[in-house]
Structure formats: structure tokens, C-alpha cells
């Protein structure tokens, strides 16, 4: 009986406690997890999603290392034969860039703007954080324009609008340059920003300024044929600013040693347990023709020889050169922008007559930076640059191209952009060098763009059809506004 009385008393106490609560729903609250996601964590997630998509060579996400003919497939050759539809590659790229990158950056910006931090010192960092978010916004939107052409912009990211209009690609690009200038002006290099939440520069605002200015340089160059005056003004403005000027300043996302935070190439080459990729004959031939020291830094020989797979044909894994062990490293940084690219962009600008210094000086610096980054020595770089088919003046003299500098600079820039498929593909389209081999069973001519995602045809058909008409047709061979030659 005493035991029963104790149980009744305990039961009454619990009921009383519940009835005295201001809100019964309090009992269902999760007191262990945060109620909201911080803007800083959304920023970190967007950084990773962006870099993963830019870096990966997974055929379900990014085929541009195949289209740049750095690599060839061993078994499934559809992607190296320019099939965009079989694995819905455009849809994957579109979804990642809009949903996982731009939308997360948009939410991060809103949350950081609305957050009142615990100290004046932390509140003072908000301006830098918002400017850095804007820099990545520009990077992502510029990539979408370079990849598709006209895309949703002014009406993008509104979850209540499933049928956003597509804006004109050139108009977007010009607006992005304005936004980038504002972001650069808003940076305060003497202050911190995201700290450890920034896995590219660890919060170093000075380096973010260099990244942004280098991005401005790249965007200015892309407009050279379609808007020459704006191109020159943009490039020369960037040259007068703070650019990435060493490999230590590269915009490089630092991957971790354990899955799922490893470099996605490591996941594709090692964790997958698959043997899908080998060297492409195009890159092997070009490197061998020049006795390029990067040949052995990029690829492993087979029985003492470097062997590339025929473009578009199944390449035997056992008897074709593979990527070196460096690419099998989980912590290999993912590059969004590097010093060698800056120097090649300046070399291009100088060749076009812009006031950015000497073309040969930039050309030599770009080659040297690339060789050193991949583990070569200064002596190797000097010896390489002394070769008649590499030295700028003699290579220009030997070229039979209509515009020799495009062949000479374009080829060396492409070599330096190895492992950076999207940017190498853009460079090939802009400069038309090096010439890509025709795949064995090509489904089209060389891809000049991603076609619009199939899903857009069903949920946003009118906007998609208007955009397709505006750019000259939703075809892989349609040349984008900046690709005039």
C-alpha cells in the first residue's frame, strides 16, 4: 500500500509540473541541437559544394576534364564522346550551383546581416563576411553564364517562383563585374572575417581581395572579343589592384583526410574502387612534343613509356598511363584560382595590346608557376623555357596559326590548367587552342556549352524556350556571346 501511495504521489507531481508549464509544446523541443543554422556554417557548406563541383571528375557531375582531353575513359565512353544527356550532367551542374551554392550563400548573407553578435569586434566583421559571400556569388554566377549562356539571375533563388525568367548572359556578366568591384571596395583587409569557417583562406581578407581582383581579370579577358573597350578597362583596373602573385596565395579549398571531406578526385580514383580514368592521348602528345617536365608530374609511365588513350574509345587500364600518386591524396587542395592562371591571363591581355606589362614576362612566369606548383624545380622551368618550341619569341615565329599568340599562350595555359577542367574548357573555347582531337564516336561537334537541364523543359518551359531562342538554339554547339571566333 505504501508503494502504491508513492507511485500516486509521483504521478500527481508529474501532472502538476506539466499543467504548470506555459506551453505543453516545450516538452517536444530539441534542446541539444541549435534552433537555427548559422550564416557561417552555410557559407562553409557553400564553399565545399562549389569546390567539389568545380574539382570533381565524376562523370555524373562534371565531364570537362574529358572534354579538355586531359583524361580518357576506360570502359564507359559516352561522356568523352560528348554525351550530355545520358547522365544529366547539365542538370547536376545547374542544381549544385543554384541550390547548394547560390541559395546557401543567399541564406548565409541574410542570416549574417540579421545577426547581432556578442561583441563589437565580432559585429565589425560582418562587412567582410558579406563581401566575401558576394565574391563567391559572382564566381558561381559567372560560371553558370560561361557554361550555359543566358540563365536565371534577377528572378533566381526565389523558392516561390518556379518559373524565373532567363536573363541575357552579357548583361549578367557586366552586372557581375560591377558587383565584384563593390565587394572589393567593401573589404577591410586589416580585419578578420570567417576564421576557421573559411576553408579557402582561413578568413584572410587580403587574400580574398587578391582572389576577387584575379576573378575580375579573368572576367575582363572573357569579354575581349565582344566588348573590347570594357574588357581593356576591366583588365587594366584589375592589373592596378592586388592580384594573386604567388602559389601561396592560390584560392585553394583545403580538403580533409577522411570521407566525406576528402578531395572528390580521391573519392573517384580510390574510394570508389573503380578504374575509370587514364591519360588522354592529346595531353600526352603535347607534353611529349615539348619535353615537358610536367609529363611525369601528371602521369605515371607504363613500362618506361607514357601512353595515352584514344579520345572517345575505351582505353585499357593496365597498359595506359594513370594519374600520379599526388591525385590519390585525400587532402590535395581543390583549386578555384591559381597564380599561373593570373600570369597567363596577363600574357593574353598584353598580347591584345592592353597596358599590363610584357607578354613574354607573364608567359614565362605562368609556365614557371605551374611547374613549381606541381613539384618541379626552377632549373627544370628554366631549361624548359629555353627550348625553341617553348620560348615565346621562337614559338611565335614557328606558329602557322592565324593569330600565333593564341596558339602559343593558349597551349601553355591549357597545360597549366591541368586538373581544372571547367576553366581549361573555357580557355579552349575562347582561344581555340590547343586543337582537340575528334572523338571516335562523337555525338556532336566540340561542345561550346552545356544544354539546358531537361527538368527546365517541364517546369519552366516558356522561360527556357525564350532563352534558347535568344542564344541561337539550345544545342551543344551553339556558341555563347563571348565566343566569337
Q: What is the SS3 assignment for the chain?
A: CHHHHHHHHHHHHHHHHHHCCCCHHHHHCCCCCCCCCCHHHHHHHHHHHHHHHHHCCCCCCCCHHHHCCCEEECCCCCHHHCCCCCCCHHHHHHHHHHHHHHHHHHHHHHHHHHCCCCCHHHHCCHHHHHHHHHHHHHHHHHHHHHHHCCEECCCCCCCCCCCCCEECHHHHHHHHHHHHHHHHHHCCCCCCCCHHHCCCCCCCHHHHHHHHHHHHHHHHHHCCCCCHHHHHHHHHHHHCCCCCCCHHHCEEECCCCCCCCCCHHHHHHHHCCCCCEEEEHHHHHHHHHCCCCCHHHHECCECCECCCECCCCCCCCCCCCCECHHHHCCCCCEEEECHHHHHHHHHHHHHCCCCCCCHHHHHHHHHHHHHHHCCCCHHHHHHHHCCCCCCHHHHHHHCCCCCHHHHHHHHHHHHHCCCCHHHHHHHHHHHCCCCCCCCCCCCCCCCCCCCCCHHHHHHCHHHHHHHHHHHCCCCCCCCCCCCCC
What confidence score (pLDDT) does residue 12 get?
Answer: 41
* Mean pLDDT (10-residue bins), the chain, 485 residues: 43 41 44 68 98 96 97 96 91 97 98 96 97 98 98 96 97 98 98 97 98 98 98 98 98 95 96 95 98 98 98 97 97 98 98 98 98 98 98 98 98 98 98 98 97 94 98 97 91
What confidence score (pLDDT) does residue 1 get?
Answer: 44
What confidence score (pLDDT) does residue 2 get?
Answer: 43
Q: List pLDDT tens digits, range 7-53.
A: 444 444 444 443 444 444 444 444 444 457 999 999 999 999 999 99
Mean pLDDT of the chain: 93
What confidence score (pLDDT) does residue 7 get?
Answer: 42
What confidence score (pLDDT) does residue 186 get?
Answer: 98
The model's pTM is: 0.92
Amino acid at each position: 500500500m505504501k508503494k502504491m501511495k508513492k507511485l500516486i504521489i509521483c504521478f500527481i507531481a508529474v501532472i502538476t509540473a506539466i499543467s504548470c508549464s506555459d506551453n505543453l509544446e516545450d516538452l517536444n523541443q530539441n534542446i541539444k541541437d541549435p534552433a537555427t543554422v548559422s550564416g557561417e556554417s552555410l557559407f562553409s557548406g557553400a564553399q565545399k559544394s562549389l569546390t567539389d563541383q568545380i574539382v570533381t571528375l565524376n562523370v555524373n557531375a562534371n565531364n570537362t576534364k574529358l572534354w579538355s582531353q586531359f583524361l580518357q575513359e576506360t570502359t564507359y565512353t559516352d561522356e568523352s564522346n560528348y554525351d550530355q544527356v545520358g547522365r544529366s550532367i547539365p542538370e547536376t551542374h545547374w542544381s549544385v550551383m543554384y541550390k547548394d551554392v547560390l541559395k546557401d550563400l543567399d541564406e548565409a548573407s541574410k542570416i549574417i546581416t540579421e545577426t547581432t553578435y556578442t561583441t563589437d569586434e565580432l559585429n565589425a566583421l560582418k562587412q567582410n563576411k558579406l563581401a566575401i559571400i558576394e565574391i563567391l556569388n559572382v564566381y558561381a554566377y559567372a560560371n553558370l553564364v560561361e557554361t550555359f549562356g543566358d540563365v536565371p539571375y534577377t528572378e533566381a533563388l526565389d523558392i516561390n517562383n518556379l518559373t524565373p525568367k532567363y536573363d541575357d548572359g552579357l548583361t549578367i556578366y557586366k552586372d557581375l563585374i560591377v558587383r565584384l568591384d563593390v565587394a572589393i571596395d567593401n573589404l577591410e583587409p586589416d580585419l578578420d572575417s570567417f576564421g576557421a569557417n573559411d576553408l579557402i583562406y582561413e578568413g584572410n581578407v587580403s587574400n580574398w581581395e587578391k582572389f576577387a581582383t584575379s576573378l575580375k581579370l579573368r572576367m575582363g579577358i572573357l569579354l575581349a572579343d565582344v566588348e573590347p573597350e570594357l574588357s581593356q578597362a576591366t583588365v587594366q583596373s584589375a592589373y592596378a589592384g592586388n592580384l594573386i602573385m604567388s602559389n601561396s596565395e592560390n584560392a585553394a579549398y583545403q580538403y580533409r583526410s577522411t570521407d566525406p571531406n576528402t578531395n572528390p578526385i580521391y573519392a573517384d580514383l580510390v574510394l570508389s574502387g573503380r578504374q575509370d580514368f587514364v591519360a588522354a592521348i592529346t595531353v600526352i602528345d603535347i607534353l611529349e612534343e615539348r619535353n615537358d617536365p610536367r609529363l611525369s608530374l601528371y602521369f605515371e609511365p607504363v613500362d618506361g613509356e607514357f601512353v595515352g588513350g584514344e579520345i572517345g574509345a575505351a582505353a585499357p587500364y593496365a597498359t595506359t598511363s594513370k594519374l600520379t600518386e599526388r591525385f590519390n591524396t585525400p587532402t590535395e587542395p581543390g583549386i578555384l584560382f591559381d597564380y599561373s592562371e593570373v600570369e597567363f591571363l596577363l600574357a593574353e591581355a598584353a598580347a591584345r595590346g592592353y597596358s599590363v606589362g610584357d607578354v613574354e614576362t607573364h608567359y614565362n612566369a605562368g609556365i614557371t608557376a605551374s611547374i613549381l606548383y606541381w613539384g618541379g624545380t626552377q632549373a627544370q622551368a628554366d631549361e624548359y623555357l629555353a627550348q625553341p618550341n617553348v620560348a615565346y619569341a621562337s614559338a611565335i615565329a614557328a606558329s602557322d596559326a592565324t593569330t600565333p599568340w593564341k596558339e602559343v599562350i593558349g597551349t601553355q595555359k591549357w597545360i597549366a590548367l591541368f586538373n581544372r577542367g571547367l576553366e581549361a574548357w573555357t580557355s579552349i573555347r575562347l582561344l581555340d587552342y590547343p586543337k582537340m582531337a575528334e572523338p571516335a564516336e562523337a555525338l556532336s561537334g566540340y561542345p561550346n556549352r552545356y544544354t539546358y537541364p531537361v527538368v527546365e523543359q517541364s517546369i519552366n518551359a516558356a522561360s527556357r524556350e525564350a532563352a534558347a531562342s535568344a542564344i541561337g538554339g539550345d544545342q551543344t554547339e551553339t556558341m555563347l556571346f563571348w565566343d566569337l571566333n
